[in-house]
Structure 1
């Protein structure tokens, strides 16, 4: 197949569904770890076409959603300071902090700008040498290489008025945290293809062996997701637990060596807090000592900012796959995309946003 629309071919989808039904003899619970896969599943009703008893559990795969409240509050505190130009991707502007969001800070007079690349923010810093320019660097392994490159460029070019507010998180430690939870029901995973296109697949076989779960790396189109589900169920039915790559058109086993080299130079592993989940050891990145001067958290002295989650919002349970979005009493009532309680209702990859957009009021 050469073209994207071929990965939505209904005849091929029906064929894969027949194979999934033929292979399934008992209930299974699979988790997709990517918000893009969640939206594809809900948009196309894939979960409703699977055999009875096969459940898709929506995991913590939305980068906006897992950014902790304390980091949002740090962003708000920095953005509100005089002389600061705060740059971010657009999907972060509506994410609620403890009392407001970046849109409201901008409405109050702060210079908050939407950019399409961290390199755009670096260009703004170069053009405004009398201002401090901060880029909000969030996300999984997918977005980290561009942020690493930007910091590397800032250092190389001597642009000292640029800094990065870092909140990068890593997928493999999150899988471990999910599997070690006493409430875990997950029996297999669909891993995010774009993460593996950067990092490769080498970290996953040991997780498959340790926890006895199949992990299938897959993409985001309907046929990608169905093939990932098929391969996971076939393994479960046969009592196997291997890591397989169902997305070879985008994911080489070694990932992207150039990107990984840049990441190793700029970032080092650290413990990270995940919104609604808590701190997962070794689950994130921070700037290495070599680049610590570009760390906005230290430059603006906001390391001591802490925050408490909304008592009404159950996004943490949604992110852990413990409940579906519609099982939260606030869903669609006091929590909507226009008035969100949590990030899972704001982000284009959030599970709550998917359920709300596609009018899903049942599992």
Structure 2
């Protein structure tokens, strides 16, 4: 299968691993953060951390839109379904994220709320067409990857003048969060000192490689955009090690088969029309992050569920037994949480990192990394 099996070739993996072992400087430590949760799963699923040199450390970042969704936002969605009797539509992982009071959207459904899993925003729009006497709310989450489909859906809703459809917009922006981590790290005693960043794959297909130039220029930080196969990850780590050894700080693109510097201009222009920047947005684990999320632009304000239902987000602290916040900031690994694999499992998660298919805790649990 093109672009899959050839990137899983074990002989090539051995060759890259051997070159990596010969390239690292044994007298220094290398710390690279993979921002995307998909990359965390690549590392865990294929056992890549077992073949990395001992002085190359992969730090897991807040790379999952489900993981970074604050509890207050989930409470807003539940309010729509329980208090306002709306049909609430969202993606599957979101249903199981723990909210305040030990509740979740899945539990709200068990209490009688009309909560439905959808595969795309267009599914939610069709539900609105089929139920003209009910309000239908799409709980829109995701990085830049899932933002264009929401924008297309809103364009269609406006074109058809569907009055019973609205959106709770929780789309967040990757570069803003990456910069926030670098800005706030010196203030946190446990924050790792980073030598380079693994750029996300799907996000970069949309936004391109140009937005990462600020990290190379301002922060003197090497960035390599990486695909989602094991050879992609090994090659990316090798490229980062070479940059560090040579004193370079550039944006390099390992994922050339899908990412171009300018990104997908049609998708970018579409997002710019439908959305505008929020001044600030709370990320689970990171707190309020300036200019890091989107809201509906004035042209599409009629579809804003927050305004339509008078929704107000309140800050809700995480479960004290859960270390998701520290894990999302790269300060701890899942096995350092006392609840991991015991009180917190995929069947009974205490935090969002154990829920999402891209969460670090879910990756460690699924692939047997229950202890260091």
Decide whether the 8 Å contact of 1:178 with 1:184 is kept in 2: no
Q: Residues 168-183 of structure 1: matches in 2 within 5 Å?
A: 168-180=171-183, 181-182=185-186, 183=191
Q: Deviations for 1:226-285, whole angstroms, at most 9, x for unmatched residues?
A: 111111111001110100011011111111111111100011112211012101111111
Structure 2 CA distance, aligned partners of 1:205 and 1:102? 39
| Secondary structure class of the residue paired with 1:110 | coil
Shift of 1:187: 1.1
TM-score (norm 2): 0.95
Match of 1:112 in 2: 115
| Secondary structure class of the residue paired with 1:167 | strand
| Secondary structure class of the residue paired with 1:220 | coil
Match of 1:70 in 2: 72
Decide whether the 8 Å contact of 2:341 with 2:370 is kept in 1: no
Match of 2:20 in 1: 20
Q: Residues 1-363 of structure 1: matches in 2 within 5 Å?
A: 2-25=2-25, 26-99=28-101, 100-180=103-183, 181-182=185-186, 183-270=191-278, 271-363=280-372
User: Following TM superposition, where does structure 1 have runs of at least 4 consecutive aligned residues deviating by more than 6 angstroms?
Assistant: none
Shift of 1:304: 4.2
Structure 2 CA distance, aligned partners of 1:293 and 1:9? 51
Change (3 A) 1:304 1:103: closer
Structure 2 CA distance, aligned partners of 1:220 and 1:64? 19
Q: Which moved more, 1:179-188 or 1:338-347?
A: 179-188
Structure 2 CA distance, aligned partners of 1:7 and 1:194? 17
Decide whether the 8 Å contact of 1:188 with 1:213 is kept in 2: yes
Q: Deviations for 1:60-112, whole angstroms, at most 9, x for unmatched residues?
A: 10110001111011111112135411111111111111021111111111111
TM-score (norm 1): 0.98
| Secondary structure class of the residue paired with 1:113 | strand
**RMSD (CA atoms):** 1.2
Change (3 A) 1:184 1:178: farther
| Secondary structure class of the residue paired with 1:280 | strand
Structure 2 CA distance, aligned partners of 1:334 and 1:353? 14
Decide whether the 8 Å contact of 1:73 with 1:307 is kept in 2: no
Shift of 1:311: 1.1
Shift of 1:224: 0.9
Q: Deviations for 1:25-48, whole angstroms, at most 9, x for unmatched residues?
A: 031000111011100101111112
Aligned residues, how many? 363
